[in-house]
Amino acid sequence: MSTSRYPGLGLSLAVEDPAWERLGLDLERLVRRSLEAAAAGVPYGVDLATEVGITFSNDAAVQALNAEWRGKDKPTNILSFPLVELAPGDRPAPMMGDLILARETVLAEARSEAKAVEHHICHLLVHGFLHLAGFDHQDDAEAERMEALEIAILHRLDIPDPYADGALDGGVASSAA
């Protein structure tokens, strides 16, 4: 991927479902922009040295992974697979983990929530990165902390608060491999 202000943030992008490419989005730019903003929001600093794998897949593949790793036999918008479980603020290992997005679910959510597809993808990538970084939303306090961080990161990207006016990305999921 292209040069960035985080040269140590390696991104490995795979498009398993060619229908993603037919959307006409610059997926590489969305990924780079979202994950750099998330890294700055944690913040790790410019000396961050880790890699994140991002796979643009489909509902069937994500459903299979969700069933295998989380015991939930249904698709979800994004799955996060941290290589090592971190606590918020811990520095990641050379490989942070993987994020896998399900095209049909992502598009359906964006449509039903009247969100720009690009904004929804950025939100999910930020959300997934935060899971890799050790953040979670298992209880109300964790959820509030994580949502506030997401909102602040997205604000820097000029993306509206995804939780405003009852909008929810309730399908966001996380799983450790």
- Position 97 scores a pLDDT of 97
Query: Strands of 9-15's sheet, edge to edge?
Result: 9-15, 50-57, 95-102, 78-82
pTM for this prediction: 0.89
Backbone dihedral region for residue 13 (phi beyond 0: left; psi -120 to 50: alpha; all else: beta) = beta
Cβ proximity of 117 and 77 under 8 Å = no
Cβ–Cβ under 8 Å, residues 176 and 70: no
What tens digit of pLDDT does each residue of 25-75 get? 999 999 999 999 999 998 887 678 999 999 999 999 999 999 999 999 999
- Residues of the chain with pLDDT > 70: what percent? 88
Q: Which domains does the chain have, with CATH numbers?
A: 9-166 (3.40.390.30)
Whole-Å CA distances, 48 to 25, 59, 112: 27, 32, 36
Query: Above 90 in pLDDT, residue 176?
Result: no
- AA letter at 148: A
Token couple for 117 = 């597809």
* 3-state secondary structure at position 56: strand
pLDDT in tens, 155-172: 999 999 999 864 443 444
Burial 55-80 (b: 16+ CB within 10 A, else e): bbbbbebbbebbeeeeeeeebbbbbb
Question: What b/e string do you get for 137-153 counting C-beta neighbours within 10 Å, with b at 16 or more?
Answer: beeeeeeebbbebbbeb
pLDDT (tens digit per residue) in 81-116: 999 999 998 999 999 999 999 999 999 999 999 999
